[in-house]
Chains A and B, each alone.
Chain A
Amino acid sequence: MIYTDRARLGRTLVRIALSNRSKSSGAVYHAMAALASYHRGHSEIEVDQLKHAALQNLHPGDNLDLYDVVEHIAANLLLCVVEVCKTHAENPIYSFNTDAADSCKELMLDQLYLWCETDDRDSETI
């Protein structure tokens, strides 16, 4: 995200995840936990279990209200981020016409911390 929306997004995700409002808010909670678990360096099995827990809570019914829709989109995007992080960590760098340095895979992102960060510069609370 372009920076100005990031802090607000983080606070909103945490609020939704902790609301315990519905199954889909539980999906947001588990998707965030999967991302955090990944960045904490927990085992792949643990990350996958949390991912599956999120997915199990994502069964859209016929009568979705606005909150359900927000929660579904949030959970799906978080799961996208988890997948992006995981797949890029596991896949190699090609060198087409140079001996590009085989840079070791970088330390992975901890976006959950970023999003959940209590920004000292910003007095707005979750």
Chain B
Amino acid sequence: MIEIARQYNSTHNSDISLMLGWVYYFDIMARFTIRHWRTEQVEAAAKTLGFNSQGEKSCVIQYILARDSFAKGVPDLAAHSNSTVQLLAEVSDIAIYSSEPRYATADYQRHLDDLRLKLEAEVISDSDMIHTTKSDSTFHDQNILRVVCLAALIYLERVSRNFSGQSAKLDLWTNQGFSILTKLDSCLCPFPLFILGCEANKDEDRIVILNLYSRMENQPYLRSVMESRSLIQTAWNQQDLAHEGTLEYIHKLNLVISSRDLLPSFI
């Protein structure tokens, strides 16, 4: 159906473009979770503890189908999405492990630098818009886009460098992210909540996250992101139980995302 849809010369604001943008978003978020799902290291830990590391039968089938589907990719859908989603797609495709052939190549490192610069530019441009707009809805939307970019920067910095400690850059992005979250009544995009939640190691930062979820709970139609709260709480448990500095960032994400019997959904 998507192949047929792509044959039509759709304009950016058309219904078909909107639907293809939606497909693209589903695809990116699924790719993000599947890359951290039941890695070999996690599977080994699960087996040791007596868990069925494969999950449900239906999940195994879905996983195989998804792997097959993602191996092919869904080309040409990026044009139906906004620039922030396109950058998120690139971030969701960065190499996780040094064993990947591209990991140490100069071209790939340049690509990462470019990606970082684009995300930083996006944060700054959104920030400019926030100061110039008077519309509440634009203010909210731009804040969401900004917090998505900040979360993408944090993920990029940590994963691309396999870095689990603290740095001035990470502190800046994290503080900016929390500062935005305090202003929001809702954030229906689970990705930035999850990434920023994983950075919240101090009580005051965790309170920012929990307060935002409390505000969302008070709104009857905003219950979609509660699974991400549960994931964040799992991350906090992992963090609190680990000896200081011993829990690697990538391993933490792998454990948290693998802690559900089915792939968590960030849609």
Contact = CB atoms under 8 A, between A and B. Distances in A.
Given A4-B141, A69-B16, A114-B221, A97 B255 contact: yes
A18 interface: no
Interface in B237-267: 237-238, 241, 255, 258-262, 264-265, 267
Given A97-B255, A106-B223, A80 B144 contact: no
A110 interface: yes
B204 interface: no
Q: Which 4 A-B pairs have the closest CB atoms?
A: A109-B224, A113-B221, A106-B226, A121-B137
A82 B225 CA distance: 15
A108 B226 CA distance: 8
Interface residues of B, number: 62
Interface string A37-66: 001000000000000000000001000101
B51 interface: yes
B188 A96 contact: no
A73 interface: yes
Given A8-B18, A69-B1, A100-B237, A110 B224 contact: yes
B5 to A, nearest CB: 5
Interface string A5-44: 1101100100010000000000000000000000100000
A121 B1 contact: no
Q: Which of B8, B148, B225, B227 has the most CB of A within 10 A?
A: B227
B19 A94 contact: no
Contacts of A5: 18, 21-22, 25, 81-82
Interface string A87-112: 11001111111111101001111110
B11 to A, nearest CB: 12
B107 interface: no
Q: Which of B15, B188, B227, B229 has the most CB of A within 10 A?
A: B15
A66 to B, nearest CB: 5
Contacts, number: 157
Interface in B137-175: 137, 140-141, 144-145, 148
A113 B220 contact: yes
Interface in B50-103: 51, 56, 58, 81-82, 84-85, 88
B49 to A, nearest CB: 6
Nearest to B2: A73
A3 B18 contact: no
B137 A84 contact: no
A100 B234 contact: yes
Contacts of A101: 233, 237
Q: Which of A1, A64, A80 has the most CB of B within 10 A?
A: A1
A88 to B, nearest CB: 6
A9 B42 contact: no
Given A5-B18, A77-B26, A97-B45, A121 B241 contact: no
17 contacts: A1-B21, A2-B84, A3-B188, A66-B16, A70-B5, A74-B19, A87-B58, A91-B261, A91-B262, A94-B46, A98-B241, A101-B237, A106-B227, A107-B226, A109-B224, A110-B220, A110-B222
